[in-house]
Amino acid sequence: MRNSVYTLLIITLFNSTSHVCFAGSESTENNLWATTLFYARKTNDTVSDTFLFKADFPDNLNFVSLALARKFGSYKKIDLELEGQIAKHQGIEDYTEYTAAILFRWETLPWDDVIDMSFAFGEGFSYTSSIPQFESENDKPAARLLNFLVYEATFTIPNHKNWEAILRMHHRSGVFGLINGVRGASNAWALGLRYNF
């Protein structure tokens, strides 16, 4: 079932290749690469509570991460990116997390003349060096390999077009039990600084 969902997603994205512009061929963008440094606070509250800033964020649950992304194409007004990330979790637990995702980024927004920003959604996988005990509280199933989702808003720093400030939600879950029987795991709000090159 899980493999079928991902196969369908990939086929849907790339079915109409006549509308896809691959970086390095027809793309006119100069900056294909980006690297980002993040600091994040974690919670095991729900996605909705996290989005609405109603979640509890313990002081001793955080991580720092470094991400590297490359734009590989575009579909209409959506840029397509591949991103890899390494995160060092600190506080109550000490482990490393590795993520890989495809990001879909909306660069052109109606208010770009006032504030230059973008929105992105990412889908991929997260793998941890050990099972996060924080995610297994209250006898919940936990696993090292889970689904990874990212929701992100970027803000270009005035007079420094290659630099962006980032607000990102970092989400690990089992997709309602499809992956290793995990129904929920953890969320985090992250602040980041990105350099495009």
Amino acid at 91: G
Quote the pLDDT of residue 1. 53
Is 34 domain-assigned? yes
Is 183 domain-assigned? yes
For residue 120, give every residue at least 6 positions away whose Cβ sits within 8 Å of its Cβ, in sequence order, or none: 81, 103, 104, 105, 106, 150, 151, 152, 153, 154
How many domains are there within the chain?
1
Is 49 domain-assigned? yes
User: Per-residue pLDDT tens for 105-151?
Assistant: 998 888 888 889 999 999 999 999 999 988 887 567 899 999 999 99
Is 108 domain-assigned? yes
Give the three-state DSSP class for 97. strand
Q: Mind listing the pLDDT tens digit of every residue in the chain (197 residues)?
A: 544 544 444 444 444 443 455 554 443 357 999 999 999 999 877 787 887 777 888 888 999 999 999 999 998 889 999 999 999 999 889 999 999 999 999 988 888 888 899 999 999 999 999 999 888 875 678 999 999 999 999 999 989 999 999 999 999 999 988 898 898 789 999 999 999 99
Is 9 domain-assigned? no
- Which domain covers residue 122, as residue numbers? 29-196
Is 175 domain-assigned? yes
What's the rounded Cα separation, in Å, for the pair 71 and 31? 8
CATH number reported for the structural domain that contains residue 186 in this entry: 2.40.160.20
Is 15 domain-assigned? no
**pTM summary value:** 0.82
Is 20 domain-assigned? no
What's the rounded Cα separation, in Å, for the pair 149 and 179? 14
